[in-house]
């Protein structure tokens, strides 16, 4: 009996050792696989080594003469294929490695639109002297004004209630600047209309339309400004009026032309998106001596530009403790078949929001969103992303369509077919951009 117990003990010990051997073998194999996965193969290393990197936002001179500024008359002396060079970063780390979640209890960007003709609109279109004819839909013939009465309601919580006086107090002694394209200009006009009514006529002013346009409120020693910079970096499209060009040329490695204006602001609201959906872009690097451009598809070009912008934010905005917001893409509604199967229109004559919460149209480019997310994730938690994309996706009814001023004369053929010239990109005011500003107020 004792002999059997000793033999049984030996068997248990051998089984335990065998089990331990199997576990160690598995762990070793997993570690080896992980090393293989994490270690680039020689070919990857060679490809990585062959990529050249450009340090961004460096004042460039050639033979002691500053590099010329791009304008609408700038041309490429030739074009070659994109070389694959990248923008280098100087290794600055973010504070936490991830963006801070500003509201852990509630995602204010997830919700639904609720009809509310008691609290909305927050201002009257005709009583805002700074309203744009591009966005004044009722003035230009839109009789259905239901688009003005929708309130954004997050799931499980509420946005801070809009308060004009509190917003002005947040802005007292400060410069709030919107930087970007015509969609960001629409958000700027919305903010001016939301705030201007409480300022006496002799205590407010608006500068003439220019690359930098400024609304000033003397009582609060505050300004609300818009800087036209549709591609964020220097480009030949930086004229706020004459920017419809056949060839788009950018300096992918420099925001210095625009940052010389925006670096003095206290609160910055950036956007860029729509101009990256218009085909290939010409890259004219600051160090290029012969004026030869590289042609790149839009996603590569946008990633270069966003990295250059992020370099400025990391080196200047964060150390100076500026408040920086980035507004995600504003969706378009160009194809009604995306929300109404077998239809053949666009946003024209649409009068109600989309109710399907999972709706996602082609007007929002997800690869572009991933580029933005990847780059902003590497920045400090001081950056706040205003994720307006999904909530704006629902608002197929919120665009001007034909109810706006068009700068070019419309042909008889267009006039006979309203769908052909409907603006399904910009937004009527009062309307969707007011909610974007309510979100900005919520996070300030």
Query: What SS3 state is found at 248?
Result: coil
What does the alpha-carbon distance between residue 300 and residue 320 come to, in Å, rounded to a whole number? 30
pLDDT of 124 strictly over 50 = yes
What per-residue string of b and e applies to 63-80 under the rule 16 or more CB within 10 Å gives b? eeeebeebeeebebeeee
The runs of H, that is alpha helices, within 354-417 are: 366-377, 389-393, 412-415
423 is catalytic: yes
Residue 373 domain-assigned (yes or no)? yes
Using an 8 Å Cβ cutoff, are 214 and 225 in contact?
A: yes
| 172-222 pLDDT tens trace | 999 999 999 999 999 999 999 999 999 999 999 999 888 999 999 999 999
Above 90 in pLDDT, residue 31?
A: no
User: Using only C-alpha atoms, what is the Rg of the chain?
Assistant: 27
Question: In the annotation, is 243 catalytic?
Answer: no
Query: In terms of residue numbers, what domain contains 416?
Result: 110-443
Per the domain annotation, does 82 fall within a domain? no
Q: If DSSP codes are grouped into helix, strand and coil, which group holds residue 181?
A: coil
Tokens 């925006």, residue located: 262
Taking the C-alpha atoms of residue 364 and residue 328, their distance in angstroms, rounded to an integer, is: 10
- Helices then strands, each counted (H, E), the chain: 10, 17
Is pTM, for the whole model, over 0.95?
no
> Cα separation of 400 and 348, whole Å?
8
Lowest-confidence region among 88-102, 134-148, 350-364, 416-430: 88-102
- C-alpha torsion angle, residues 292, 297, 299, 304 (rounded to 10): -10
- Asked whether the beta carbons of 417 and 345 are under 8 A apart, the reply is no
Q: Is residue 94 part of a domain?
A: no
Closest by Cα among 264, 265, 232 to 251: 232
Give me the mean pLDDT over the 131-142 stretch.
98
Six token digits for residue 14: 């051998």
Please say whether the beta carbons of 192 and 226 come within 8 A: no
Indicate the pLDDT class of residue 363, thresholds 50, 70 and 90.
Answer: confident
* 357 part of a folded domain: yes
112 dihedral zone (left: phi>0; alpha: psi -120 to 50; beta): beta
- CA proximity to 375, closest of 282, 302, 283: 302
Where do the H-state alpha helices sit in 292-388?
A: 298-312, 366-377
Which CATH number does the domain housing residue 166 bear?
A: 3.40.50.1110
Is 154 inside any structural domain? yes
Burial of 313 (0-12, 13-18, 19+ CB in 10 A): buried
- In this structure, what are the phi and psi dihedrals at residue 97, rounded to the nearest 5 degrees? 85, -15
Q: Which range, of 17-21, 124-128, 140-144, averages the lowest pLDDT?
A: 17-21
Mean pLDDT over 1-12 rounds to: 50
* Under 8 Å between Cβ of 377 and 405: no
Kindly state the tokens that stand for 186: 């629409």
Given this model, what pLDDT does residue 100 score? 45
User: Which is more confidently placed, 65 or 366?
Assistant: 366
Q: pLDDT for 249-279, tens place per residue?
A: 999 999 999 999 999 999 999 999 999 988 9
What pLDDT score does 405 carry?
96
Q: Is residue 245 part of a domain?
A: yes
Q: Are 335 and 362 in contact (CB under 8 A)?
A: yes
The residues with which 225 forms a beta bridge, in sequence order, are 177, 214
50 domain residue, yes or no: no
For CA atoms 354, 360, 364, 370, the dihedral sign is positive
CA pair distance 323, 313, nearest whole angstrom: 10
Number of domains in the chain: 1
Share of the chain above pLDDT 70, in %: 85
The answer to whether residue 6 is domain-embedded is no
Catalytic one of 253, 365, 423, 434: 423
The span from the CA of 389 to the CA of 380, in Å, is 22
What is the average per-residue pLDDT within 373-389? Answer: 91
Which of 74, 94, 132, 182 is catalytic? The answer is: 182
pLDDT tens-digit series, residues 285-319: 999 989 999 999 999 999 999 999 999 999 999 89
Query: Which residue among the candidates 138, 399, 426, 442 is catalytic per the annotation?
Result: 426
Inform me whether the pLDDT recorded for 244 exceeds 90.
Answer: no
Active-site annotation holds for 377: no
Q: How far apart are CA 380 and CA 323, in angstroms?
A: 11
């Amino acid at each position: 009996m004792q002999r059997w117990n000793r033999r049984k003990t030996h068997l248990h010990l051998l089984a335990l050792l065998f089990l331990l051997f199997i576990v160690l073998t598995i762990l070793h194999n997993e570690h080896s696989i992980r090393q293989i996965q994490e270690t680039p193969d020689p070919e990857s290393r060679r490809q990585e080594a062959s990529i050249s990197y450009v340090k961004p936002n460096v004042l460039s001179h050639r033979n002691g003469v500053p590099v010329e500024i791009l304008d609408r008359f700038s041309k490429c002396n030739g074009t070659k294929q994109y070389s694959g060079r990248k923008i280098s970063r100087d290794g600055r780390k973010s504070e936490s490695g991830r963006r801070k979640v500003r509201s852990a209890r509630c995602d204010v960007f997830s919700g639904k639109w609720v009809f509310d003709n008691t609290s909305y609109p927050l201002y009257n279109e005709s009583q805002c002297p700074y309203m744009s004819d591009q966005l004044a839909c009722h003035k230009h013939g839109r009789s259905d004004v239901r688009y003005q009465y929708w309130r954004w309601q997050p799931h499980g919580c509420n946005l801070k209630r809009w308060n004009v006086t509190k917003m002005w107090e947040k802005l007292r002694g400060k410069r709030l600047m919107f930087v970007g394209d015509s969609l960001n200009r629409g958000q700027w006009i919305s903010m001016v209309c939301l705030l201007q009514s409480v300022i006496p006529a002799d205590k407010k002013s608006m500068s003439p339309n220019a690359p930098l346009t400024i609304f000033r409120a003397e009582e609060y020693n505050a300004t609300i400004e818009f800087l036209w910079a549709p591609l964020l970096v220097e480009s030949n499209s930086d004229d706020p009026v004459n920017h419809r060009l056949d060839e788009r040329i950018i300096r992918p490695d420099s925001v210095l032309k625009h940052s010389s204006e925006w670096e003095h602001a206290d609160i910055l609201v950036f956007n860029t998106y729509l101009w990256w959906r218009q085909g290939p872009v010409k890259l004219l690097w600051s160090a290029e001596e012969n004026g030869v451009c590289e042609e790149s598809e839009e996603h590569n070009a946008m990633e270069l530009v966003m990295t250059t912008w992020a370099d400025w934010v990391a080196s200047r905005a964060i150390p100076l403790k500026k408040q920086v917001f980035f507004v995600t893409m504003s969706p378009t509604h160009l194809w009604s078949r995306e929300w109404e199967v077998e239809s053949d229109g666009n946003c024209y004559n649409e009068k109600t929001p989309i109710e399907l919460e999972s709706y996602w149209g082609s007007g929002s480019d997800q690869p572009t969103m991933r580029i933005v997310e990847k780059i902003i994730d590497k920045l400090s938690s001081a950056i706040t992303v205003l994720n307006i994309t999904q909530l704006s996706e629902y608002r197929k009814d919120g665009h001007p369509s034909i109810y706006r001023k068009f700068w070019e004369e419309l042909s008889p053929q267009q006039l006979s077919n309203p769908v052909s010239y409907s603006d399904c990109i910009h937004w009527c005011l009062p309307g969707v951009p007011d909610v974007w500003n309510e979100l900005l107020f919520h996070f300030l």
